[in-house]
Amino acid sequence: MITIRRKKGLILAHSTDDASVTRRDFIYVASGTMAALGAAAAVWPLIDQMNPSADTLALKEIEVDLASIVPGQQITVEWRKKPVFIRRRTPDEIKQAEETPLDELKDPQADSARVQKPEWLIVVAICTHLGCIPSKDMKGEYGGWLCPCHGSQYDTSGRIRKGPAPNNLAVPAYKFLSDTKVQIG
């Protein structure tokens, strides 16, 4: 079940039951607008990113309320017209990410270099192969995300582990404003 609430001009969205989340439950957070898209395998419109509109510029930074996300859940927010996954990782997911030897990685990067707080993983949800949106419903063999377009698989740190994608999911600039609020951008 997805809960939406308004606070200080923002629309805050979260899933209260991860098992109920479907492909249609991509929730986009923007100031004043919201859209739910069934876009698990959609190719992100890269052309749009090359020509930022006034809207895009207006969303240079977004604030996201994390208070209702429990371990194991994730939400998708929109930032600069790109989807961003915010996952509250479980202790097992954190352990798996931290203990993966770097020499097993195609794009070696320590988990500690990709998160500010181990519990929270924040990544741009655009596959580094050809720009599809990885499925939030298919975790693949490494517990992260599977991109349905050509089978790239990411781990619980958003690092590429299998398939044609060359790089890890990008980590956007962000900072925690409090224990339960993060600013992306």
Supply the residues annotated as catalytic: 150
d(CA 73, CA 114): 18
Tokens of 145: 């995300």
Q: Is 106 in the site for ligand FES (CB under 6 A)?
A: no
* 130 is a contact residue toward ligand FES (CB under 6 A): yes
Minimal distance in Å, beta carbon 73 to ligand FES?
23
Taking the complex as a whole, the smallest distance from the CB of residue 158 to ligand FES amounts, in Å, to: 13
Which of 4/43 has CB closer to ligand FES?
A: 43
Which listed residue (12, 21, 147, 184) binds ligand FES by CB under 6 A? Answer: 147
Q: Does 41 engage in binding with ligand FES (CB under 6 A)?
A: no
Sorted by sequence, the CB contacts under 8 Å of residue 131 that are 6+ apart come out as: 43, 44, 46
| Integer Cα distance of 47 and 63 in angstroms | 25
Residues 149-168 that bind ligand FES (CB under 6 A): 149-152, 163-165
Asked if 133 and 126 touch (Cβ cutoff 8 Å), the reply is yes
* Alpha-carbon radius of gyration of the chain: 15
Binding interface with ligand FES (CB under 6 A): 127, 129-132, 147, 149-152, 163-165
